[in-house]
Amino acid sequence: MNRIATKMSTTVDYEQDGKQTGFIRLPHSVHRSAYGWLPIPVACVKHGQGPTVLLMAGTHGDEYEGQVALSKLICNLEVDQIQGRIIVLPMVNFPAAKAGLRTSPIDELNLNRVYPGDPEGPPTMMIAHYVESVLMKMADYALDLHSGGSSLHYLPCTIATKATDAGRRDQVKELMQSFGAPHAFFFPSGHAGGTTNHAAERQGVLMVGTEMGGSGTVSADCLAICERGVQRFLAKVGVLKNASAAVAPASTRMLHAPNFRYFCYASGEGLFEPVAALGDEVQEGDLAGYVHTPEDPGCEPTEARFEASGLVVCRRTPGRVIRGDCLYHLGCDI
Ligand SMILES: [Zn+2]
């Protein structure tokens, strides 16, 4: 961990009781604004004694369900409902979220790959450093709300990686069940480095992620699951005083991908014709889809086949593909 302090400051006081909204200021000196700062929106609601919960959306700027759910939550939270503290960042990678892009248009970085960040690095590195070294230091629990973004569509699910510590994994599972999305999914180990999950684990924060729909839009059903899940999560960890304010629990099917055979990739460039649908149960060897090359008339399409058996939890959205694009991924019961 870089020992240099953050250069970011905030217009809210995390130690003050009540409900505050404001901005985390990220210094950004550019041609049009010499002493300017980027305004990362933040809300802090603090009342009485209880845990601190960090709620984030917009880690990837083209994932909208969580950004909408947290915007609504900020408006609706009332101070006397709270025992403890809720810190909400609805657009954590603000430049990416403002542009509706997965990665930041300023430095091209993916916030979910650069933790623990760098207080002297480009904006995305500074944000990662602030989240891990300031916000997670204060937090007991966290939610990082994602969806499929522009290129994927997911069955609504909570997500986590297979943490090394079995005790921590059981606690995360319990929180996933409290969120009550229809599915929970564990990524295989080594899926990606530098994620929010890694930061949370380093800081001893119990964190759950989500994948809610996607395709670069907001769907009513996924948004409803996301909003109810956030309420249940806040009630479960004890920061929502009146637990009856939360909606009734729901059952969650626990899934995982034991390895990368559960991911199906395009083997060439062309136009993707999906055959499998989200929610299908498929077998190893089943046809997943075709890749067509209309630029080469008379050329037969290439088949894509599943290399494992399981439930289709994620599918690619855009039609054009190149070799290496993820077309589907599967989950199987834990
Ligand atoms: Zn994401």
Higher pLDDT, 163 or 231: 231
- Split at pLDDT 50, 70, 90, the class of 75 is very high
- 238-292 pLDDT tens trace: 999 876 555 666 789 999 999 999 999 998 999 999 999 999 999 999 999 999 9
CA of 17 to the centre of ligand 1 (A): 32
Q: Residue ranges of the domains in the chain?
A: 9-256, 260-333
Percentage of the chain exceeding pLDDT 90: 90
Closest residue by Cα to residue 328 from 269, 270, 262? 262
CA of 111 to the centre of ligand 1 (A): 9
Statement: residue 148 has pLDDT above 70: yes
Per the CB < 8 A criterion, the answer to whether 86 and 234 are in contact is yes
| Strand pairing class (302-305; 281-282) | unpaired
- In this prediction, residues 13-29 reach a mean pLDDT of 97
Q: Is the dihedral of CA 95, 176, 69, 182 positive or negative?
A: positive
CA of 93 to the centre of ligand 1 (A): 11
CA of 330 to the centre of ligand 1 (A): 17
Per the CB < 8 A criterion, the answer to whether 208 and 163 are in contact is no
Statement: residue 1 has pLDDT above 50: no
CA of 57 to the centre of ligand 1 (A): 9
Percentage of the chain exceeding pLDDT 70: 96
- Split at pLDDT 50, 70, 90, the class of 60 is very high
pLDDT of residue 215: 92
pLDDT of residue 4: 74
Hunting for tokens 């970011």 — which residue is that? 8
Per the CB < 8 A criterion, the answer to whether 239 and 82 are in contact is yes
Q: What is the mean pLDDT of the chain?
A: 94
CATH 3.40.630.10 fits 9-256, yes or no: yes
Distance in angstroms (rounded) separating the CA atoms of residues 10 and 25:
6
- Split at pLDDT 50, 70, 90, the class of 143 is very high
Per the CB < 8 A criterion, the answer to whether 24 and 93 are in contact is no
Statement: residue 302 has pLDDT above 60: yes
Statement: residue 142 has pLDDT above 90: yes
CA of 76 to the centre of ligand 1 (A): 25
pLDDT of residue 241: 85
- Split at pLDDT 50, 70, 90, the class of 193 is confident
Distance in angstroms (rounded) separating the CA atoms of residues 270 and 176:
38
Closest residue by Cα to residue 143 from 248, 67, 41? 67
- 152-161 pLDDT tens trace: 999 999 999 8
- In this prediction, residues 213-242 reach a mean pLDDT of 93
Higher pLDDT, 322 or 162: 322
Closest residue by Cα to residue 175 from 153, 150, 200, 148? 200
Lowest model confidence (mean pLDDT) among 2-16, 105-119, 122-136, 232-246: 232-246
CA of 301 to the centre of ligand 1 (A): 31
CA of 242 to the centre of ligand 1 (A): 31
CA of 146 to the centre of ligand 1 (A): 4
pLDDT of residue 83: 97
pLDDT of residue 165: 81
CA of 149 to the centre of ligand 1 (A): 6
- Split at pLDDT 50, 70, 90, the class of 2 is very low
Per the CB < 8 A criterion, the answer to whether 154 and 179 are in contact is no
CATH of 260-333, one of 3.90.1570.10, 2.40.50.100, 3.20.20.80, 1.10.260.30: 2.40.50.100
CA of 32 to the centre of ligand 1 (A): 30
Higher pLDDT, 242 or 132: 132
